[in-house]
Structure 1
């Protein structure tokens, strides 16, 4: 029914937020900054880890704080907040929206479009690696604070982490709307505590404020020598979650995200990292857990509870992002249809995909049980994130150059520094490949293979079916002479991917029943490379001979497909559509492997993978919300 994304629309509605700036900023605080906001739980400990060749002296401590602060300034503030938030796709952000924007900007250069799409798919696949590591490291980093209350709690850290994560995934089916109102206030409290305790510690060792001088960062990094990349690989931990600023732009808007970052998140993070540095200047033994050592012993249990809640919120954001990314990938033709449950009647962006939820849960629990601590997970964290950041910067170059039409020198000037920084981050994290960095890369590789195989398989399948297609108009002109007798007073709807050919279900209907309905609608659903398509631009209706109509329904990749609702608006186009009189005839194709590899252009394992996905994909009836009692499926076998 649905085909590959069509051409861009001239205009697209922006389903942007309509709330006040304060409410949106508070919402952004709860959803967008959860991941980067929980980075102080483990970042300082890993940057100053003696295994990285760092000596715990005052120069190193001040230099480490300075390096973290200026990394936040360059990568998050300059790159994401100032530059990349401008690259919106009709108000939407994220790797898939940016890919669609870059592909459109590439113009008629087919090879460049394919390469950009391939790069974007790679970035999307790696996002799933982040979706696995973030919940694991965030929750474990918070629960490990119990060890400071009493060492007797150490054996319970792993079971508690598993229980918290399992509970988090179990409640996903209820949607985040019910608890979402708590996210903003909780994270407001979290960032307030981060800043307050930082100020308390800085007041006792104000010399840490010298870290604001970037020369200390350069001196610290330069002194690392061959160990530079090890330290930079740990610095990445302070930047994880930066992609969320861009990915969630469509939910809150550019201005609230910028305001929340500049007015609260960046200052409180800087104060907390400086506070940890001040503590370490006075007590280097606090390196075992410098975050929780900031607090008096009486505060430990409340802080562990608050940190756990903050880490759950951070995990919720990335899990919801995985759901949204999967839905977009399905509508862009990169993944098979899956069951999508809309958990909110008001916010279409709140979706739940059971298959993705349980797959993520299994992967997260494997990560927790396999790595056993947040320090071990830190080795796995970063490589997938930094490659995604590099891909985002590369795609942004094409947007600046071809969509915004800036001269090449300006485009290079805007992105070259960030490309270099991202490349250094990728190289640094790659050094930890054997210590766990392979894990998110393996996940990304599997997802990339799945997406590439599905897209290639669909192309081959459409090519196979197209060889047997009949042109629609000549066929309809001949019908009036071949079909006689009364017609049932119902509406027959024939979904088809190509509106110019005869639907296979129509041929089956004529062959077996030798009759036509009183009205027949041939409908095609197209997903454009824009987030939303306004309702007044979704429908194209054309009357054809022999009581046939041709309808094309267009959606954006963030729209909620509902075919009966769309057809119900055909009355504006002189087609009276009564949903109670409609029967939907679906052409279901059972895919079987081809006789030879040469025939499909796909390796045998990819053929089998595509066939398995095709057979287990959600039906078109469910995906497009067709009524259960009005669907008739007529199938055929197609060789891949």
Structure 2
């Protein structure tokens, strides 16, 4: 474990501030709209509705967030990293079908990225409606509000290319100020109605769900209070388990105080409805209204930033685990783990724009919020069952009881949120697109890899040496480098030998074989070198964690430089020209699969492979994905024949010879 994660094994002030700034943005901004949504959905406001709502919120945060995520799920620590793919990497050896909850969980989490920024930013900006001299100007849903929200969101996505190094240090203090504000505002109302503490009794929540006309369906609104719980696990690597667990105590206390304060204010109004008011901003003193809106806007931007960064990390892991096409990944800063993926950035930006333009108000957005996260949480529960049972070796009855509890709770939230599906068909299409892409890519790679043909390399080493020494054959390059999927050093793909010997034989002074192995640990960076034929064929095995970008070109140059400095394999003595050439006289040979017409598929394989090659046209090429200079690559197209068509019925009916 590196110094980064050793540091976060301790509880430190810096670790706690980072946790506040990165992890709690989504769940921390939920008071902006959760209680208001429950009151609006509940209809007639009375003590039973308010007490029941707060009781449900408190016990949802206790069971779902505290018990499931903070206490149990954070145990699934993959070398300091968390998230659905980290969890999948820990348990995938226990069942091939576990790929499905991993894909579904990741797809629904990504879909959440197009609604969290709009709902949090819109809720904050709508608070300006509470300012008397802006009441007629800032009206929820009017063009000015929509335009302000769109400008903020656009600026947020444009800013991604520069990373968060400059302002990232302010996230923690700003969120600390935000949570302190939540707690103080809540207390300011609780002192006028201390009776509100009785609402923490679970009986009020049960009475609301069973006796209220809309009881069970209000769970869809209640769930909004815990939508950010998945981030506690996804961002584990940024802060460490202990910092998250300790900071959650402070966060939960301030959240509950604020919800209690909103409930107290609502009952003190003695009204049967909110009349369009937002209890969150209603409990803010008039003199502090503008500063509170500014802080709320900053908190919503930080929440959005955390979710966008999480989406980049998720896609990066998906690429490493062969769930997603290769796309351009950039590193805007030197901070490890901070990446920028342009294609995903603009897909999310367009999605956020469409959400704002379609729903316009935060109240309308909450009606479509939550469905995706309930599915993601259910998928995490399934994967956690295998982790607790087979990795931690907990007794089956304990694991079963815990998992049944979470499945019951999350299934209830899922059913209550499922009624929102009519209002979120756009999100459903987006989610299905993400999940389908992952499913197609993963299975197509399995199909194509299944038909790779390997041969014993040792048999061909003398021929390779002969070709290398044959001065009558034009030299292709001093060094030819092939990427190989052969796990064993004595094996090689048949297509590599075909490339070297057939058509135009490729002569080189040295042939390099590079093999890349992905580890279940996130940040492994290791390599080994094996000389297969003295001075002619060398194999390099890279072992890279699933969060490490495979910049093979850079890594290859680094390995060769190390070998030269260490005088390994006597390369210096045999090839002193390497120094003069500055290691630049080399070529990577990249194979590009094309689907041959000589195939006869089943319907499912045909759909998967045709979709795979269609998507592949939009993906980043292997040369870019591996960080290879276009001037130093040779691309060879390889027809992929998965299931050859049969010509058994073809018969010769005549043969004619022309007279001489």
Same fold by TM-score, threshold 0.5 exceeded? yes
In the alignment, the residues of structure 2 paired with residue 593 and residue 359 of structure 1 have an alpha-carbon distance, to the nearest angstrom, of: 32
**TM superposition shift of 1:340:** 0.2
**TM superposition shift of 1:341:** 0.2
Q: Is 1:130 paired with 2:105?
A: no
What stretches of structure 2 of length at least 5 have no aligned partner?
573-577, 643-660
Q: Which moved more, 1:142-151 or 1:336-345?
A: 142-151
Structure 1 residues 421, 303: CA separation in 2 closer, same or farther (over 3 Å shift)? Answer: same
Counterpart in 2 of 1:397?
385
- Counterpart mapping for 1:115-126 below 5 A: 115-126=97-108
Structure 1 residues 444, 333: CA separation in 2 closer, same or farther (over 3 Å shift)? Answer: same
1:492 touches 1:582 (CA, 8 Å); kept in 2? no
Q: Helix, strand or coil for the counterpart of 2:636?
A: strand
Q: Helix, strand or coil for the counterpart of 1:291?
A: helix
**TM superposition shift of 1:614:** 1.5
Q: Helix, strand or coil for the counterpart of 2:524?
A: coil
**TM superposition shift of 1:296:** 2.4
**TM superposition shift of 1:590:** 4.4
1:332 touches 1:529 (CA, 8 Å); kept in 2? no
**TM superposition shift of 1:271:** 0.6
Q: Which moved more, 1:353-362 or 1:208-217?
A: 208-217
In the alignment, the residues of structure 1 paired with residue 284 and residue 466 of structure 2 have an alpha-carbon distance, to the nearest angstrom, of: 87
In the alignment, the residues of structure 2 paired with residue 502 and residue 59 of structure 1 have an alpha-carbon distance, to the nearest angstrom, of: 70
Q: Is 1:219 paired with 2:192?
A: no
**TM superposition shift of 1:594:** 4.6
Counterpart in 2 of 1:22?
13
Q: Is 1:340 paired with 2:329?
A: yes
Counterpart in 2 of 1:183?
171
**TM superposition shift of 1:248:** 0.5
**TM superposition shift of 1:98:** 0.9
User: Which of 609, 612, 619 is the equivalent residue of 1:610?
Assistant: 612
Q: Which moved more, 1:591-600 or 1:423-432?
A: 591-600
Q: Helix, strand or coil for the counterpart of 2:279?
A: coil
In the alignment, the residues of structure 2 paired with residue 230 and residue 167 of structure 1 have an alpha-carbon distance, to the nearest angstrom, of: 37
Structure 1 residues 223, 182: CA separation in 2 closer, same or farther (over 3 Å shift)? Answer: same
Q: Which moved more, 1:405-414 or 1:607-616?
A: 607-616
**TM superposition shift of 1:242:** 0.3
User: Which of 268, 274, 282 is the equivalent residue of 2:268?
Assistant: 282
Q: Which moved more, 1:181-190 or 1:585-594?
A: 585-594
**TM superposition shift of 1:526:** 1.9
**TM superposition shift of 1:502:** 4.1
* Residues 242-282 of structure 1: per-residue CA shift (max 9 Å, x gap): 000000001110011111111x2101101100000010011
Q: Is 1:574 paired with 2:568?
A: yes
1:593 touches 1:608 (CA, 8 Å); kept in 2? no
Counterpart in 2 of 1:365?
353
Counterpart in 2 of 1:496?
484
- Counterpart mapping for 1:378-417 below 5 A: 378-417=366-405
In the alignment, the residues of structure 2 paired with residue 441 and residue 229 of structure 1 have an alpha-carbon distance, to the nearest angstrom, of: 23
Structure 1 residues 96, 521: CA separation in 2 closer, same or farther (over 3 Å shift)? Answer: same
Q: Helix, strand or coil for the counterpart of 2:14?
A: helix
Counterpart in 2 of 1:98?
87
In the alignment, the residues of structure 2 paired with residue 153 and residue 418 of structure 1 have an alpha-carbon distance, to the nearest angstrom, of: 42
Q: Is 1:258 paired with 2:249?
A: no
Q: Is 1:330 paired with 2:319?
A: yes
**TM superposition shift of 1:639:** 5.1
In the alignment, the residues of structure 2 paired with residue 488 and residue 449 of structure 1 have an alpha-carbon distance, to the nearest angstrom, of: 42
1:14 touches 1:91 (CA, 8 Å); kept in 2? no
Counterpart in 1 of 2:655?
none
Counterpart in 1 of 2:654?
none
2:69 touches 2:229 (CA, 8 Å); kept in 1? yes
Structure 1 residues 207, 594: CA separation in 2 closer, same or farther (over 3 Å shift)? Answer: farther
User: Which of 538, 542, 552 is the equivalent residue of 1:563?
Assistant: 552
Counterpart in 2 of 1:7?
none
In the alignment, the residues of structure 2 paired with residue 321 and residue 563 of structure 1 have an alpha-carbon distance, to the nearest angstrom, of: 25
Q: Helix, strand or coil for the counterpart of 2:106?
A: helix
1:195 touches 1:267 (CA, 8 Å); kept in 2? yes
Counterpart in 2 of 1:4?
none
Counterpart in 1 of 2:122?
140
* Residues 185-210 of structure 1: per-residue CA shift (max 9 Å, x gap): 11111111111111111111111111
Q: What TM-score, normalized by structure 1, do the two folds share?
A: 0.90
2:520 touches 2:545 (CA, 8 Å); kept in 1? yes
1:490 touches 1:581 (CA, 8 Å); kept in 2? no
In the alignment, the residues of structure 2 paired with residue 593 and residue 329 of structure 1 have an alpha-carbon distance, to the nearest angstrom, of: 28
In the alignment, the residues of structure 2 paired with residue 63 and residue 312 of structure 1 have an alpha-carbon distance, to the nearest angstrom, of: 31
**TM superposition shift of 1:361:** 0.7
User: Which of 55, 61, 67 is the equivalent residue of 1:72?
Assistant: 61
Q: Helix, strand or coil for the counterpart of 1:380?
A: coil
Q: Helix, strand or coil for the counterpart of 2:113?
A: helix
In the alignment, the residues of structure 2 paired with residue 349 and residue 482 of structure 1 have an alpha-carbon distance, to the nearest angstrom, of: 44
**TM superposition shift of 1:76:** 0.6
Q: What TM-score, normalized by structure 2, do the two folds share?
A: 0.87
User: Which of 617, 621, 624 is the equivalent residue of 1:622?
Assistant: 624
In the alignment, the residues of structure 2 paired with residue 238 and residue 255 of structure 1 have an alpha-carbon distance, to the nearest angstrom, of: 23
1:147 touches 1:153 (CA, 8 Å); kept in 2? yes
In the alignment, the residues of structure 2 paired with residue 136 and residue 60 of structure 1 have an alpha-carbon distance, to the nearest angstrom, of: 28
**TM superposition shift of 1:33:** 0.1
The alignment yields a C-alpha RMSD, in angstroms, of: 2.4
In the alignment, the residues of structure 2 paired with residue 599 and residue 428 of structure 1 have an alpha-carbon distance, to the nearest angstrom, of: 39
2:21 touches 2:172 (CA, 8 Å); kept in 1? yes
- Counterpart mapping for 1:231-630 below 5 A: 231-262=218-249, 264-283=250-269, 284=271, 286=274, 288=276, 289-345=278-334, 347-436=335-424, 438-464=425-451, 466-467=452-453, 470-481=455-466, 484-486=469-471, 490-498=478-486, 500-502=491-493, 504=495, 507-511=498-502, 514=505, 516-535=507-526, 538-539=527-528, 541-544=530-533, 547-567=536-556, 568-569=558-559, 571=563, 574-575=568-569, 580-592=583-595, 594=597, 598=601, 601-604=604-607, 606-630=608-632
Larger radius of gyration: 2
**TM superposition shift of 1:230:** 1.5
Structure 1 residues 503, 519: CA separation in 2 closer, same or farther (over 3 Å shift)? Answer: farther
Q: Is 1:152 paired with 2:137?
A: yes
Q: Helix, strand or coil for the counterpart of 1:602?
A: helix
**TM superposition shift of 1:376:** 1.2
Q: Which moved more, 1:83-92 or 1:507-516?
A: 507-516
In the alignment, the residues of structure 2 paired with residue 26 and residue 478 of structure 1 have an alpha-carbon distance, to the nearest angstrom, of: 62
Q: Helix, strand or coil for the counterpart of 2:624?
A: helix
Q: Which has the higher contact order (CA 8 A, sep 6+)?
A: 1
What stretches of structure 1 of length at least 5 have no aligned partner?
1-11, 107-112
1:13 touches 1:533 (CA, 8 Å); kept in 2? no
**TM superposition shift of 1:298:** 3.0
Structure 1 residues 422, 593: CA separation in 2 closer, same or farther (over 3 Å shift)? Answer: farther
